[in-house]
C-alpha cells in the first residue's frame, strides 16, 4: 500500500507542475539569466576590493553580504527552480538597495567610485532580477 506522501507525489497535477518547472529551468533564457545573476552577485561581493573602496568598512561589509546573498539565491534558482522560484523577487529588491546604499549606509560617501559602482551593479541586478522574475511568472501563468 502506498503512503499518502507517495500517492500525492504521483498526483497528475503535481507531475504536470514539476514538468512545467523543469521546462522553465531548462530554457536558455532562464539559464543565461540565472548565470548572469550569479556573476553579478559575485562581483557585488568582491567590488570593494576591485574598485578600491575596501577602506570604508560599512559599505564594504554591505556589498560583501548582499553579493553573497544574491549569488546564493541565483544558484538556488538555477539548481532548483521549481522550489525557489518564489525568491526571484528578492534580486530586484537587492538591486534597488544596492543603488541607494552609498547614501543610506555610509551617509557621506567620499568617493564617486562607490556611487558609480553601486548604481551600475544595482541597475544590472534590477534588470536581471526582473527578467528572472518575469520568466518564473510567465511559466506560472502558462498552466
Confidence of residue 16 (pLDDT cuts 50, 70, 90): low
Cβ atoms < 10 Å from Cβ of 114:
23
**Any idea where the domains of the chain sit in the sequence?**
4-141
pLDDT in tens, 104-119: 886 666 678 889 999 9
Cβ atoms < 10 Å from Cβ of 35:
14
Residue 135 in contact with residue 27, Cβ under 8 Å?
yes
Averaged pLDDT for residues 79-91: 76
Q: What is the pTM of this model?
A: 0.79
**Model confidence at 131: pLDDT above 70:** yes
| Dihedral angle sign, alpha carbons of residues 48, 40, 88, 7 | negative
Average pLDDT, rounded, for the chain: 81
Q: Would you state the cell numbers that stand for residue 7, as one nine-digit string?
A: 500517492
Instruction: Please give the backbone phi and psi of residue 80, each rounded to the nearest 5 degrees, phi first.
Output: -140, 65
Residue 109 in contact with residue 51, Cβ under 8 Å?
no
Predicted local confidence at residue 107, as pLDDT: 63
pLDDT in tens, 20-68: 556 555 667 778 888 999 999 999 999 999 998 878 889 999 999 999 9
Amino acid at each position: 500500500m502506498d503512503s499518502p506522501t507517495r500517492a500525492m507525489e504521483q498526483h497528475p497535477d503535481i507531475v504536470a507542475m514539476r514538468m512545467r518547472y523543469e521546462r522553465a529551468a531548462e530554457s536558455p533564457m532562464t539559464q543565461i539569466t540565472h548565470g548572469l545573476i550569479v556573476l553579478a552577485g559575485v562581483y557585488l561581493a568582491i567590488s570593494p576590493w576591485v574598485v578600491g573602496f575596501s577602506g570604508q568598512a560599512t559599505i564594504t561589509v554591505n556589498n560583501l553580504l548582499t553579493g553573497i546573498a544574491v549569488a546564493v539565491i541565483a544558484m538556488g534558482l538555477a539548481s532548483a527552480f521549481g522550489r525557489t522560484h518564489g525568491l526571484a523577487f528578492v534580486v530586484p529588491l537587492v538591486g534597488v538597495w544596492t543603488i541607494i546604499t552609498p547614501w543610506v549606509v555610509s551617509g557621506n560617501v567620499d568617493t564617486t567610485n562607490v556611487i558609480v559602482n553601486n548604481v551600475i551593479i544595482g541597475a544590472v541586478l534590477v534588470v536581471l532580477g526582473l527578467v528572472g522574475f518575469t520568466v518564473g511568472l510567465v511559466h506560472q501563468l502558462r498552466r
